[in-house]
Structure 1
Amino acid sequence: MSNTPIVYVVDDDVGVRKALSFLLVSAGLNVRLYDSAKSFLDEVQDPGRCCIVTDVRMPGVDGLEFIRRLHSRGLNVPVVVMTGHADIPLAVEAMKAGAIDFLEKPFREDRFLEVVRFALVCDEKSVRKNQELLRTQARLQSLSQRERQVLDGLVAGKANKMIAHELNISIRTVEIHRSNVMSKMEAKSLSELIRMALFLEVATGN
């Protein structure tokens, strides 16, 4: 799949789809159009780098349910919902469900493009974070059981002497394991090693 980001416009109004498509293409962005949330969900398995622009009110699967179904599939992509004035409470509900922003109709073209570009930047950051998480997890899995125990001790703020005592090994052995951990995790300093471990804890909820 291409690394070029895509803006998916999901709206049952053909006029809205065409107008937004023209605007986005004129701004140099790649666009794909869908007339319903169901058609998107049926066709798109891996949306890649993207953001989704959708109406909060659509027949069948509305914008709020669309977001929930995306999340249930593990597709945590940035979603921008469009709404009429009377539907602002529903748009707020959509943001609570995970939408990144909402646009109240009628909206200015420059405001629309600003929100879309922000959503694409957020997705890029999310992709990079996921890639970093996978790399860090792979390094962590390369540690032996004893090296992992030493790492846990370091993250807990324990000195080598205390770790050695708790694991019933020599301080020199702790130092060797610590050096191996630093090398395998590709950490240049103890602080960087601890940041990696804490990043994993927060990202995985462990």
Structure 2
Amino acid sequence: MTERPGSPRELASGKEVKEPIVFVIDDDPSMRRALTNLIQSVGLEVEAFGSAAELLKGKLPDVASCLVLDIRLPGLSGLDLQAEFARANILIPIIFITGHGDIPMTVRAMKGGAVDFLTKPFRDQDLLDAVVSAIDKDRRRRESDNAIAGLQALFDTLSSREREVLGFVAAGLMNKQIAAELDLAEITVKIYRGHIMKKMKAKSLADLIRMTEALGIRPTKPSSEPAGPR
């Protein structure tokens, strides 16, 4: 694939992207070509840009990806772009490359969430290892996000009463205890629990508890629970 001066929007609108992609931003044309050829040599899609502004013209495709980013760029610097992504909650893993690295710059980049910081000249294998690791990290994050989104969609189908019951189930209460807390018949609670299991597609109680933990649902403490030490 030859380098082109377009933006990620070209990928989103003109070409459907399903495979992982690496974005390269470096203002040195020879470095962009070298990085593009190197990354393509391991079978990865590459889009290269001469500035951060070029990348920001478009929308990043919804696939596993990472960014190989030079620190010093015309206009918006690499560190500034990292900060822009953080403000916009764009979680693409960033690998910084620079010929002028120093300790404060490295610390700032790593504190900002960069996955690696390579000083030119770096070994080809070091960059490829960093890229593969970053792509894998982004893929795992996306899978986790999709799983949580799926669980949230299931949780949203629960009625308000079923959510109340689920809170007590998460706290480890038995049907009889939940019934007392909600002033319901024990058989009614049992029915609610059955509905919850079915709607959440939980295979077991342990499975349901794991779902509540993943969703960040806090267990509902029973009103009869003794107060802790003062």
Do both proteins adopt the same fold according to a TM-score greater than 0.5, normalized to the shorter chain?
A: yes
Aligned counterpart, 1:143: 158
Q: Which structure has greater helix proportion?
A: 1
For residues 72 and 171 of structure 2, the distance between their equivalents in structure 1, rounded to whole angstroms, comes to 49
Equivalences for residues 1-206 of structure 1 within 5 A: 1-46=16-61, 48-84=63-99, 86-201=101-216
TM-score for both structures, normalised by structure 1: 0.92
Q: Which runs of 5+ in 2 are unaligned?
A: 1-15, 218-230
- Paired with 1:140 and 1:89, the residues of 2 have a C-alpha distance of 45
Structure 1, residues 100-158: CA drift from partner, whole Å, max 9, x if none?
22212221111110110000101111111111011100000011111111111111222
Shift of 1:38: 1.4
The answer to whether the 8 Å contact 1:160/1:175 transfers is: yes
The residue identity in structure 1 corresponding to 2:147 is E
TM-score of the aligned structures, taking structure 2 as reference length: 0.82
C-alpha distance after superposition, 1:47-89 (max 9, x if no partner): 5321110012223211121112123223211111113364342
* Identity within the alignment, %: 41
Q: Which runs of 4+ in 1 moved over 6 A?
A: none
- For residues 38 and 175 of structure 1, the distance between their equivalents in structure 2, rounded to whole angstroms, comes to 58
Kindly name which structure, 1 or 2, has the bigger radius of gyration based on alpha carbons. 2
What is the rounded CA distance, in whole Å, between the counterparts of 1:15 and 1:177 in structure 2?
A: 65
Paired positions, count: 202
Q: Alpha carbon RMSD of aligned pairs, Å? A: 1.6
In the alignment, is the contact (CA less than 8 A) between 1:63 and 1:94 conserved in 2? no
**Residues 101, 119 of structure 2: 8 Å contact kept:** no
Q: Secondary structure at the match of 1:15?
A: helix
- The aligned residue for residue 221 of structure 2 is none
Give the 3 Å change call, closer, same or farther, for CA 52–85 of structure 1 in structure 2.
Answer: same
CA deviation profile, 1:165-205 (whole Å, cap 9, x unmatched)? 11110111111111111111111111111111111118xxx
